[in-house]
Amino acid sequence: MSAYSIYLVRCCDGSLYTGIATDVTRRLTEHEGGVKGAKYLRGKGPLKLVYQQEIGDRSLASRIESRIKRLTKAEKADLKNLPGLIDGFLAEFG
């Protein structure tokens, strides 16, 4: 069974989208194709993968995704500090 990763994508309008996937490259291709991608991302290309980190099982990845989505835009955009925040979430759910 493949491990889940968390990823952040920057849209052409500057917004950030957070998601989880077992294959981030495939998922990004789906988003860009529009058919199987998230509705939020339709018409917001080109998309740029700005962050990804392997998390583990789907349950844990979903909880981390939820916590990231609750961060402020500034906290999400600070890619230098994001790994530390995610490590804190992982320790909390540990």
Q: pLDDT tens digits for 20-72?
A: 999 999 999 999 987 788 889 988 889 999 999 999 999 999 999 999 999 99
Domain ranges of the chain: 4-93
**In whole angstroms, what is the distance from residue 32 CA to residue 43 CA?**
9
**In whole angstroms, what is the distance from residue 80 CA to residue 82 CA?**
6
Cβ atoms of 63 and 92 within 8 Å: the answer is no
Residue 76's pLDDT is what?
Answer: 92
Cβ atoms of 54 and 90 within 8 Å: the answer is no
Q: What is the pTM of this model?
A: 0.91
**In whole angstroms, what is the distance from residue 33 CA to residue 85 CA?**
31
CATH number for the 4-93 domain, one of 1.10.8, 1.10.20, 3.40.1440, 2.60.120? 3.40.1440
